[in-house]
Amino acid sequence: MSDVRRQSRSVQIGDAVIGGGAPISVQSMTNTDTRDVRATVAQIRRLKKAGCRMVRVAVPDESAAQAIYKIKRAAKIPVVADIHFDYRLALIALESGADKLRINPGNIGAAANVKKVARAAKERRVPIRIGANAGSIDRKIYGEPTAVSLAASAIDQAKMLEDIGFHDIVLSMKAFDVPMTIEAYRIAAEKTDYPLHLGVTETGLPWEGAIRSAVGIGALLAEGIGDTLRVSLTGDPVEEVRVGYEILAALDLYTPSLTLIACPTCGRCNIDISALATEVRRRVGKMKLPRPIKIAIMGCSVNGPGEAAMADVGIAGGKGFGLLFSHGKPLRKVDEAEIVNELVKEVERFESDTQSKN
Ligand code: SF4
């Protein structure tokens, strides 16, 4: 893992910052009809609660572009307007208060139209993400999608904006193909200093999609590349945000309030780890934790005591009981039926001990 993050420009999106060393933000996209303001705002509120820092909405027509005005007022989160085919929708979205535009170089039309959009965005200090996508790359110019052509299409479009003095640019180069995606970002990271929005596209249902995204986005983040990310999953976008944070947490780029370490179980396992871990996550997840906590739930005495001792609070399973640990020290044996209650009590004690020490 690289200790050095790629240096990028900083771009302001509403009250959020992408690039320039800002924390890597997790974003998502609504899958409601943008014209249905009530449903869209309800979904955005759930996304916000899950930690989504900015949200993209599809703008398929004029009414959707106009709806951004009400959505922004109600949702109070930076809103990114996703525009395809018709540059005039970008102009309306800007008038409606969009905090950022996402346009696709493959389908937005003539250069003159792109420039019109950039001028209007510049007046309002609204950044533009150039989102190249393997599925819509202009094949007449770039041929078959490859890492090189994907990066080139995004960089060429950025140059077009630079020519008119527009530099508030974020780049993305997404493909379903993970190696192609990784390589395209590496090229753009080398050739530009624009902040990079990471993502692997059309990854599918949550299980497969989370894995494909974690591999692609995770590989780039481990190299120090990437300033913001969106995990694309089919289904509830709140899952995208959760997966995004898990990717960041796995690379120590984010510290969640609860880190749960649970052993995979094997033939030596003495207690029901899956049920215990699920219940502990549910109960501790509801608690207001003043500082992040690591909880280990381990099945036996092989790795259990070691892992449990390294966590803030932990349990190592025995036959019908668990050995409870806190602050790295064994405390006492508790009956299997009482493990969750005792663990939760220890979490409360750990948090109040830590608070009183600070
Ligand atoms: Fe198996 Fe024990 Fe390791 Fe869990 S901690 S996987 S039960 S050896």
Q: Name residues contacting ligand 1 (CB within 6 A).
A: 263-266, 268-269, 298-300, 302-304
Residue 204: per-residue pLDDT: 78
Ligand 1 mean position, distance from CA 289 (Å) = 28
Name the residue with the closest Cα to ligand 1, atom 8: 302
Overall average pLDDT of the 259-273 stretch: 91
What is each CA distance from 102 to 8, 85, 108, 118, 302, in whole angstroms? 19, 12, 11, 11, 52
Does residue 282 carry a pLDDT above 80? yes
The verdict on residue 1 lying in a domain is: no
Same domain, 232 and 351: no
Same domain, 88 and 230: yes
- Predicted confidence (pLDDT) per residue in 57-107, tens digit: 999 999 999 999 999 999 999 999 999 989 999 999 999 999 999 997 667
Same domain, 222 and 266: no
Residue 272 belongs to what domain range? 258-357
The verdict on residue 327 lying in a domain is: yes
The verdict on residue 100 lying in a domain is: yes
Same domain, 61 and 103: yes
Find the farthest-apart pair of alpha carbons in the chain and give their distance in angstroms, rounded. 73
Overall average pLDDT of the 118-127 stretch: 95
The verdict on residue 63 lying in a domain is: yes
53: domain CATH number is: 3.20.20.20
- What's the order of all strands across the beta sheet hosting 258-262? 258-262, 293-298, 313-318, 321-326, 329-335
Single residue among 250, 285, 315 that ends a domain in this structure:
250
Same domain, 136 and 218: yes
The verdict on residue 2 lying in a domain is: no
Same domain, 240 and 269: no
Single residue among 250, 281, 302 that ends a domain in this structure:
250
Question: Which of 261, 303, 315, 319 best tests ligand 1's pocket when mutated (most atoms within 8 Å of CB)?
Answer: 303
Number of domains in the chain: 2
Same domain, 238 and 295: no
Same domain, 132 and 15: yes
Q: Which atom of ligand 1 is nearest to the CA of 273?
A: 4
Of 299, 292, 295, 298, the residue nearest 312 (C-alpha): 295
- Predicted confidence (pLDDT) per residue in 291-314, tens digit: 899 999 999 878 777 887 889 999
Same domain, 123 and 225: yes
- Predicted confidence (pLDDT) per residue in 134-163, tens digit: 888 888 899 999 999 999 999 998 998 998
Share of the chain above pLDDT 70, in %: 98
Residue 105: per-residue pLDDT: 62
Query: ∠29-14-209 over CA atoms, to 5°?
Result: 20
Q: Which atom of ligand 1 is nearest to the CA of 264?
A: 6
Q: Which atom of ligand 1 is nearest to the CA of 304?
A: 5
Q: How confident is the model at residue 216 (pLDDT cuts 50, 70, 90)?
A: very high
299: domain CATH number is: 3.30.413.10
- Rounded to an integer, what distance in angstroms lies between the CA atom of residue 188 and that of residue 19? 14
Residue 106: per-residue pLDDT: 64
Residue 94: per-residue pLDDT: 98
Overall average pLDDT of the 261-277 stretch: 92
Name the residue with the closest Cα to ligand 1, atom 2: 300
The verdict on residue 299 lying in a domain is: yes
Same domain, 132 and 216: yes
Ligand 1 mean position, distance from CA 286 (Å) = 28
Same domain, 144 and 36: yes
Overall average pLDDT of the 261-288 stretch: 92
pLDDT, greater one: 121 or 2: 121
DSSP 196: B
Does residue 270 carry a pLDDT above 90? no
- Predicted confidence (pLDDT) per residue in 162-214, tens digit: 988 999 999 999 999 999 999 999 999 999 999 999 999 877 788 999 999 99
Same domain, 229 and 351: no
Residue 205: per-residue pLDDT: 87
The verdict on residue 5 lying in a domain is: no
The verdict on residue 266 lying in a domain is: yes
